[in-house]
Amino acid sequence: AMEDVCAKFVSQKISKTRWRPLPAAALQPPDLFATGSWDNEDNRISIWSVGDLGNVGLSGDYQAEPQLLCDIRHNGDVMDMQFLDQERIVVASSTGAVTVFRHHQSNQTLSVNRRWEKAHYHVDQETSCGGAACTGVICNNPEIVTVGEDGRINLFRADQKDAVRTIDNADSSTLHAVTFLRTTEILTVNSIGQLKIWDLRQQRNEPSQIFSLTGDRVPLHCVDRHPNQQHIVATGGQDGMLSIWDIRQDTMPVSLLNAHEAEMWEVHFHPSNPDHLFTCSEDGSLWHWDTSTDISEKQSFLHQGGRSTTYFSHNTTNQSVVSAWLSNDPTKDRMEITNLIPNQTLSVNSLDVLGPCLVYGTDAEAIYVNRQLFA
């Protein structure tokens, strides 16, 4: 419900929000997140603390709003952002640069740790380089993979000055996002509705597999891999559709789900509860897709608190979680979809989920934290 959400108004449009990963054995909920901005005179990378945990109000809800710990100027729009480890954040810029920032926790400052200035660029007739936006970045420490408007794929290592590998004409269209399938394999999505798998051990610069949406060639903007089932991938595109793919088999998506009324900007499986999935959109909505339970057992109390919750009829019981995403129409079997922002109007550009916590950022110059996702 909305009352669990803390809002913080900042004087910049937020393009990316990311939780700092927790140490492997950590039991506590995440406490720090980073944001990046776009479309501002002066874009920034900022580190926030979620606020004082001890400060619980009479009704048991958290009173504290996120506190800014430190920030640093960023050249260009922040197009993507990923934590490499507890201290370093990799940021993709609209200028084509990729920067690794280090967060110094002793004195709460941010500094540039490494920068690849022209990771992505267009070459025009005069062979002078014009930057091309770096649209996506994914990390598997120390490796960093970036994709861009120039159709290029780069593999960097955090400790090396030059790219380990570059696939120059990986794609003739814009690459919008990338994810690791396994340590040596990545998956990219592009502006003509294709998914491509690349095996980084192969020296040849062709994808090992290509999947595509049917004839529409709708641009795909985002992708995420199921954390436990490496063959299940979710993508979102310009038409707001959520597509679930099984990359072991067909070249077509297993299911297409009507989701948002405008571009879907991000899709994320919950990292430890992957039967929960989250999507956000230009249309100002953020949806929680829940395939975890038998809906017929759910009580109607969920309808309170201003949440718009959609139930679907129930055919089969006792399906495994995996087949819930892979059945031809998951909504038919069991799925509850909740819009976590019933009255939002401006674009929700980014979201991240970790443990019981959700953070998201919008064009309304605000960041929101919900620390009781599954309450």
CATH (domain of 27): 2.130.10.10
Domain that holds residue 175: 5-53+62-292+323-370
pLDDT value of position 113: 97
| Mean pLDDT computed over 302-314 | 34
Q: 308-311 and 276-281: which strand pairing?
A: unpaired
- Residue reference for tokens 């609209």: 94
> So what's the pLDDT on residue 238?
95
What are the counts of helices (DSSP H) followed by strands (DSSP E) for the chain?
2, 31
Which carries the bigger pLDDT value, residue 289 or residue 54?
289
Q: Which residues, in sequence order, are CB contacts of 30 under 8 Å at separation 6+?
A: 19, 20, 21, 22, 50, 354, 355, 357
pLDDT band at 299 (very low <50, low <70, confident <90, very high): very low
Does 312 map to a domain?
no
pLDDT in tens, 240-296: 999 999 999 866 777 788 889 999 999 999 999 999 999 999 999 999 999 886 544
Confirm whether 107 is domain-assigned.
yes
- Residues 108-120 have a mean pLDDT of 96
d(CA 221, CA 259): 14
pLDDT at site 309 = 39
Q: Per the domain annotation, does 305 fall within a domain? A: no
pLDDT of residue 322: 47
Using 50, 70 and 90 to split pLDDT, how confident is the model at 124? Answer: low
Instruction: Using the predicted structure, report yes or no on whether residue 211 has a pLDDT greater than 70.
Output: yes
Residue 375: inside a domain: no
DSSP state of 20: P
Q: Which of 157-166, 206-215, 218-227, 357-366 has the lowest mean pLDDT?
A: 206-215
State how far the Cα of 370 lies from the Cα of 368, in Å rounded to an integer: 7
Residue 337 banded pLDDT, cuts 50, 70, 90: confident
Rounded-to-integer distance, Cα 242 and Cα 236, Å: 5
Residue type, 141: N
| Residue 224 backbone dihedrals phi, psi, to 5 degrees | -150, 145
Decide which of 330 and 319 is more confident: 330
Residue 301 lies in a domain: no
The DSSP code for 75 is: S
Is 263 among the domain residues? yes
Q: Say what percent of the chain tops pLDDT 90.
A: 67
Q: Is 260 left (phi over 0), alpha (psi -120 to 50) or beta?
A: beta
Q: What is the number of residues in the chain?
A: 375
pLDDT (tens digit, 9 = 90+) per residue, 146-155?
999 999 999 9
**HSE-up of residue 261 (Cα within 13 Å, Cβ side):** 7
> Does residue 238 lie in a domain region?
yes
**What's the pLDDT score for residue 374?**
85
**What's the whole-number mean pLDDT along residues 331-349?**
81
**Residue 149 identity (one-letter amino acid):** E
Quote the pLDDT of residue 188.
98
Tokens 């200028």 correspond to 95
Per the model's pLDDT, the better-predicted residue between 311 and 9 turns out to be: 9
Q: What percent of the chain has pLDDT over 70?
A: 83
The pLDDT mean for the chain works out to 85
Residue range 161-172: mean pLDDT, rounded: 93
Q: Is the pLDDT higher at 325 or at 152?
A: 152
Q: What is the DSSP letter of 22?
A: P
Of the two residues 314 and 115, the one the predictor is more confident about is: 115
In a domain? residue 304: no
Count of domains forming the chain = 1
User: Residue written as tokens 């004082």?
Assistant: 52
For residue 62, is pLDDT > 80?
no
